[in-house]
Amino acid sequence: MFEYLKKGLLTGIGLALRSKNEIEDLAKEFAEKSKMSQSETKDFLTECQLKYEEAKTGFDKKIEKTIEKILLKLDLPSKSDINALNERIDTLTKKLSEKA
């Protein structure tokens, strides 16, 4: 039963949407209420922090992919496209200045 509750806490609280401090506070509160030993509490907090980082990274990647899809649909130029155009403009401006 304890493992079931522990897994539910780790996966069900929306780790990626909460702050790291909120997660640590929730984990500490859970550890106190479940009467974990000091080493179990330390391991549990470490696991919570690890899961938080994994969830946050996954969430960030999903957001990046979504934004990339939106930008592709909008057919907006990328930063590298704009930089390439600026370089071409600079080159053409230089050539025109030399001819004048």
Instruction: Kindly report the pTM of this predicted structure.
Output: 0.47
Concatenate the DSSP letters of all residues of 8-68 into one string: HHHHHS-GGGS-HHHHHHHHHHHHHHTT--HHHHHHHHHHHHHHHHHHHHHHHHHHHHHHH
For the chain, how many structural domains are there in total?
A: 1
- CB–CB of 58/16 below 8 Å? yes
pLDDT value, residue 61: 85
pLDDT value, residue 34: 77
What does the pLDDT look like over 66-86, one tens digit per residue? 887 887 788 878 889 999 999
- Which range marks the domain in which residue 56 is found? 2-99
Low pLDDT (below 70) residues in the chain: 1-19
